[in-house]
Amino acid sequence: MKIVVLDGYASNPGDLSWEALEQMGELTVYERTKPEELHERIRDAQIILLNKTPMNAAAFEADPKLKLISVLATGYNIIDLEAAKAHGVRVCNAGSYSTNAVAQMTFALLLEATQQVGSHDAAVKAGQWSESKDFCFWNRPLMELAGKTMGLVGFGAIAQQVAKVAEAFGMRVLYTTRHKHEDPRYVSLDTLLEQSDVISLHCPQTAENLKMINPNSLSKMKDGAILINTARGGLVDEEAVYTALEQGKLAYYAADVVSQEPIRQDNPLLRAKNCYLTPHIAWAPKETRQRLHSINEENVRAFLSGYPQNVIV
């Protein structure tokens, strides 16, 4: 059984083991795969693991022996599912492996905006505390979360975990989804935008919600709202967010994702004030990545046993 990992470095830069897969077949691990390298590397592979390497129809044509693709992620939009079906290839993913980590990152971003830890750390190390006439000082506005309203766009496993944390902070939680719920916390998107002090995005990116945060939706938000994005960069019109930050409509934008990754140097968010950006690392704690690998190992083991799990197609 020939098993190929096409882009193993992102999930395993060397601190995890590939041993379980090695025990299941002839394993080849590539750190990264360029588009022009893909067909040669997957030739005769029966099982492929990948994270962000696209598999289009031509790739399926190039590897007629392929039986399984297991995605080292939850999202699978980089795979042509129709081509997979046409070639009889199973596609599996790893859902819910990062729930706690992404919820944790959501609050890391929010707490940076509300407590300004980085700014004050830099000020202390620059000598401003030593020179202070008082026992303390603050150089940016600080915010208490208790009593504020947290609006969640999407209410899957991650958003539900965020809701638990928000409620533990004493926040009121609202959420909106594509389908109506009887839960009293459920509101329309417009109501959520109008009432929330903090808005956090937790929905998949689709053709329908591309740039759902745009001049129109921003205009419905409270002045001075905080926007958090740990979902997908394409949910946000980044030029519009830049303008909202510059004009003070948004107090802060904090995101772990952008529309094109790695971020382009001409992305307007790089020059926006009150904007915090991290390089798509919400999923990256070692414990989280180990869980991701374990799920994928089980995906392969289950497939070989004749009982595939986490099946997309």
| Annotated catalytic residue within 172, 185, 280, 301 | 280
SS3 3: strand
- Rounded to whole angstroms, the Cα distance separating 236 from 172 reads 24
In Å, what is the CA distance from 144 to each residue of 66, 111, 149, 162?
Answer: 54, 10, 11, 17
| Annotated catalytic residue within 90, 120, 232, 291 | 232
| Annotated catalytic residue within 26, 140, 261, 264 | 261
Contact 55, 79 (CB under 8 A): yes
- Rounded to whole angstroms, the Cα distance separating 257 from 198 reads 17
For the question of residue 87 being annotated catalytic, the response is no
For the question of residue 232 being annotated catalytic, the response is yes
For the question of residue 181 being annotated catalytic, the response is no
Q: Residue 310: name the closest of 155, 91, 100, 98 by CA.
A: 91
Per-state percent for the chain, helix, strand, coil, to nearest 5: 35, 15, 50
One-letter amino acid for residue 123 of the chain: A
Concatenate the DSSP letters of all residues of 9-27 into one string: TTT-SSSS--HHHHTTSEE
SS3 126: coil
Catalytic residues: 232, 261, 280
